[in-house]
Structure formats: C-alpha cells, structure tokens
C-alpha cells in the first residue's frame, strides 16, 4: 500500500473548514525547553498521510515541540474486511509515531466505518450497524499501538452530516461500546468524545452517554471565521457565549457541568483561522465577507487564542491543537490555507508564533476579551441628595468597545424607566424628571441603574436619595 490522502481530506472541505498544521524548514531540532511553558498544552493536526513521511514535517514538529500531535485514522482503511487488518496502514502510523519526539503525546481520531460494518454504504459518515464491531476494531488497534497513543478520539463533528448521519442515541451506543474496549486494552488511555455542538452533546447526555468518555473535544476552526478570539456574543437572553465564537467552548463546559461532568477536561482538538483573501463560499456568510484573514492576522489570532486559554477560569481546557500543520494545496481557497506552513512547507508567520507559544508559553498580557459591562455615570441626583417634589435623574453609560444596548432606571418598587440605544452608541444617556418621587414616603430611597452592551455584559450602580418635606410644608407646621 502506498500512502494516500484518503477520503478524509475531501470531507474537511465539506464540513467546518479546517485544514492541516504546517511545518517549516529548520537547520536542526530545537533544544527542549528548560521549563514547562505557562498555559494550555499546544498541539498540531497532521491529517494528510503524505505528512507522515515528510522529513520537513518531522523536522518542524521536532523544532516546535508541540505537546500533542493529532491524526485521523479511518476504520475502513485499517480493517477493510472484517478481522483483516491492513499492514501497510498500520506500518505507516507506527513509523510516523516512532519518528515523533519521544515526549510528544498522540491523539488518534477514529472515523469511518467500512462498508462491511455499516450496511454496505461507501460513506464514512454512515454509522456501523453493530457497535460491537467498532469495539472489536478498537480492541485490536489500541493493543497494536499500546504505549504510543495517549488519547483515542471517538469520531469527529458528529453534529455534521458530513461526518455522522446517525442519531445522537446511535452515537451514544458507539461510545458505550468503545469506552470499555479501549480501557481494557490500555487503562491509561484517555477517551475523548469527538467534537459536536451543544444540542448534540445534550442529546448524548440524555441518552445516557455520561461515563463513556474521559473528556470532550471542541473545534473552533469554523469556516470563514475572521473574528478575533477576544470577540464574542452571547446567545439571546443568556450569558452563554455563542458556539461560533472562539470562547464558545465555555458553553460546552457549562453544559458538561450541568450534567455532572464539570471536572472533566475539554480538549480543543481543532483551532485555527484560514489565511486567505478569497471570498467566503460556505454557509450563511457565502458571498458576504472574506473567507479568512491575512497571514499576519492568523499569527496574531493564534497568540490571542493561546492567551485566552492561559486564563485561570479556562483551566479545564487541557490542550489546544492547531488545524493544521501545512496548507492543503496552493491557491486562495479558504479550506487550503489553515496551515502554519504554506503548501511548499515554507513557514508562515503563524508557524513562528506557534513555535514561540509551544516552546515558551503565553507571552501576552491583559484580559482575553472584555466581559465588563458599560461604565455608569450618575450625574443626577448626587449621593445622599435631599429632595422634595420632582426628582431629576440623569445617567450616562459608556462602552467604547461594545456599545450600549439600553439603560434601565429602577426608581421605586413599582417604577422602571428604560432608554434604548438603537445603534449601540459608545456613550448613551437617559434623563427623566420624575414627578412620582414626590409621592414616596419620607426618608431614604435607593435608585438602581442597570445597563448592558451589545454582547450582553451588564453593569449595575445604585445611589441613595432622601425624600424630605418641602420648605413651605415645614413652615406651615411650625
């Protein structure tokens, strides 16, 4: 058997839009870092089989020393007939794993049921008819690579029909069969549930999937993504970051915690941005924006992504593996430009950024995105102000980065006034002359101001005023 690219590469063009992790020409292996870099463990994807035998790819992995290398293993390639394992494919993987630095951990993503196991379909997205067949394959293959593979990832992007045409319940059955098979062959191996979306993951939990995986994979290499990792939006009427933004992985963790798995890690098995000036041709954004970013932006976003993952609140993310090592082909097609190297294995700025990240850890400072709501200034009334009659209230909210959505002023238990900024002004004000203040009981009262930005970040401020009798009333009493 000669190395070939296989059907996997075609499917990457169908789904989210990820690509391979690139390598660069180096004069020799870089020295091992003298200390453990701060932040999440780095990793790269090598999905093209040609990369397994490329001296350049191996040299670049040796130079950058990622903690992880992720590869795909297609079941239909390795077991084309039931019980018959292809020695050529097995040898190819064995030689590649042996050529990696000894400290490199390997994540193998298993996909693609053979026709004999899935009812005769030639689509690798078709689920196997009997999960026991999958378990038998895993038992053999995990024993074959025992001691060199650290993690086994079960399938890939199951929420996409390009990768899985079955139901979440069928996938759950696959997990339940896979987990004990892997653990029996290698108790120390980590079993990762392949990346999906929140709806699919929730359905897996509902079908009883908890306990059949040690970690959950997340992918952020969304097609036509041109947004910085620092930018995010919440799902409507929630504080859950939308899944199509980099920080959307936090919503997956929240879902895991709600199902009793908050202590389990997330492995970000694909992160990346395509470096291209071509037009987006995928999904709802097709023809409406660029399909990628510049090479310089790609490098910057890589640094920002690892900086985000170095934040202590995201310590549950164990590893982040760039997709991918090198460009899939020459040309501007977005799918072919996710690499750290170009298609001729020349380093892009992203490779230098990745190498620095892998060897030395996060070098950036400051926050990852702004989760602070707008700043609130209450011009009127002043703190402790004594008033009688009409009360004038004047408030300004400021959010230069995200704009102001609205200001709400709670004047009393029964009175709430709202001012809406239709264009998310950076500075937005609301003023009211409240005649109802004269009807409040005498004494202190608290006014509460709440505001939020276009991302849903909220801020609150309070001020206390004192309702007193008018001077004319006080004189009349005396």
User: Under CATH, what is the fold of the domain 6-360?
Assistant: TIM Barrel (3.20.20)
Q: Which residue has the tokens 């985000």?
A: 308
Which residues face 268 on adjacent strands? 218, 320
Average pLDDT of the chain is: 90
375-477 shares the fold of 6-360: no
With beta carbons less than 8 A apart as the criterion, state whether 193 and 207 touch: no
DSSP per position, 89-115: HHHHHHHHHHHS-TT-EEEEEEE---T
Q: What is the pLDDT of residue 286?
A: 87
Q: Does residue 270 have a pLDDT over 70?
A: yes
Q: What is the pLDDT of residues 196-233, one digit of tens each?
A: 999 999 999 999 999 999 999 999 998 899 999 998 88
Q: Assign 12 a pLDDT band (cuts: 50, 70, 90).
A: very low
How far is residue 35 from each of residues 38, 106, 123, 351, 353, measured CA to CA in Å?
9, 21, 46, 21, 18
- Half-sphere exposure (CA, 13 Å, Cβ side) for 313? 10
The answer to whether the peptide bond before residue 381 is cis (omega within 30 degrees of 0) is yes
b/e burial code for range 110-121 (CB count within 10 A of at least 16 → b): bbbbbebbbeee
389 vs 440: CA distance, rounded Å: 10
What are the structure tokens assigned to 12, written together?
């990457």
Q: What is the pTM of this model?
A: 0.80
**Interatomic CA distance for residues 457 and 233, integer angstroms:** 9
Beta strands 443-453 and 386-387, pairing class? unpaired
In this prediction, residue 181 has a pLDDT band, given cuts at 50, 70 and 90, of very high
Token code pair at residue 122: 């030639």
Q: How far apart are CA 17 and CA 120, in angstroms?
A: 28
> Given this model, what pLDDT does residue 303 score?
97
Q: How confident is the model at residue 29 (pLDDT cuts 50, 70, 90)?
A: very low
Strands, sheet with 427-434, edge to edge from the N-terminal-most edge strand: 375-380, 391-398, 427-434
Using a 10 angstrom Cβ sphere, with 0-12 exposed, 13-18 middle and 19 or more buried, the burial of residue 176 is middle
The answer to whether the beta carbons of residues 233 and 241 sit under 8 Å apart is: yes
How deeply is 301 buried, as exposed, middle or buried, from its count of CB atoms within 10 A (0-12, 13-18, 19+)?
buried
Domains in the chain: boundaries = 6-360, 375-477
Question: What top-level class would CATH report for the domain 375-477?
Answer: mainly beta
Which of 78-82, 178-182, 402-406, 444-448 is the least confident region? 402-406
């Amino acid at each position: 058997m000669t190395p070939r690219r296989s059907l996997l590469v075609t499917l990457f063009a169908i789904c989210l839009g990820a690509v391979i992790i690139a390598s660069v020409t180096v004069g020799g292996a870089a020295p091992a870092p003298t200390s453990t870099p701060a932040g999440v463990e780095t990793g790269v994807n090598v999905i093209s089989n040609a990369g397994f035998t490329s001296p350049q790819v191996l040299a670049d992995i040796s130079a950058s020393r990622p903690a992880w290398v992720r590869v795909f293993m297609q079941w239909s390639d390795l077991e084309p007939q039931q019980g018959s394992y292809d020695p050529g494919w097995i040898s190819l993987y064995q030689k590649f794993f042996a050529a990696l630095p000894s400290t490199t951990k390997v994540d193998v993503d298993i996909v693609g049921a053979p026709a004999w196991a899935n009812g005769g379909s030639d689509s690798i997205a078709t689920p196997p008819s009997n999960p026991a067949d999958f378990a038998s394959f895993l038992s053999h293959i995990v024993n074959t690579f025992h001691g060199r593979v650290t993690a086994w990832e079960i399938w890939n992007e199951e929420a996409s029909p390009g990768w899985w045409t079955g139901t979440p319940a069928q996938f759950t059955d696959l997990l339940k069969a896979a987990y004990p098979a892997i653990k029996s062959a290698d108790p120390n191996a980590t079993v990762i549930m392949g990346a999906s979306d929140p709806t699919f993951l929730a359905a897996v939990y509902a079908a009883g999937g908890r306990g059949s995986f040690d970690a959950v994979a997340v992918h952020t290499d969304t097609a036509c993504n041109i947004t910085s990792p620092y930018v995010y939006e919440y799902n409507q009427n929630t504080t859950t970051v939308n899944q199509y933004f980099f920080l959307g992985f936090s919503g997956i963790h929240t879902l895991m915690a709600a199902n009793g798995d908050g202590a389990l890690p997330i492995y970000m098995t694909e992160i990346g941005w395509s470096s291209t000036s071509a037009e987006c041709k995928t999904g709802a954004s097709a023809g409406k924006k660029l399909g990628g970013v510049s090479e310089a932006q790609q490098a910057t976003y890589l640094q920002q992504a690892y900086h985000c993952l170095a934040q202590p609140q995201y310590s549950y993310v164990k590893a982040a593996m760039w997709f991918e090592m090198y460009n899939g082909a020459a040309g501007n097609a977005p799918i072919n430009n996710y690499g750290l190297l170009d298609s001729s294995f020349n380093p892009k700025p992203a490779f230098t950024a990745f190498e620095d990240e892998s060897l030395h850890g996060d070098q950036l400072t400051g926050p990852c995105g702004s989760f602070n709501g707008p700043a609130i200034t209450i011009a009127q009334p002043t703190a402790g102000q004594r008033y009688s009659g009409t009360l004038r209230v004047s408030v300004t909210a400021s959010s230069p980065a995200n704009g102001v959505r609205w200001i709400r002023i709670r004047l009393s238990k029964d009175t709430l006034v709202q001012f809406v900024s239709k264009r998310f002004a950076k500075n937005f004000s609301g003023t009211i002359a409240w005649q109802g203040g004269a009807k409040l009981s005498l004494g202190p009262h608290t006014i509460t101001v709440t505001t939020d930005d276009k991302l849903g970040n909220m801020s609150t401020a309070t001020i206390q005023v004192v309702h007193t009798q008018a001077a004319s009333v006080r004189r009349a009493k005396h």
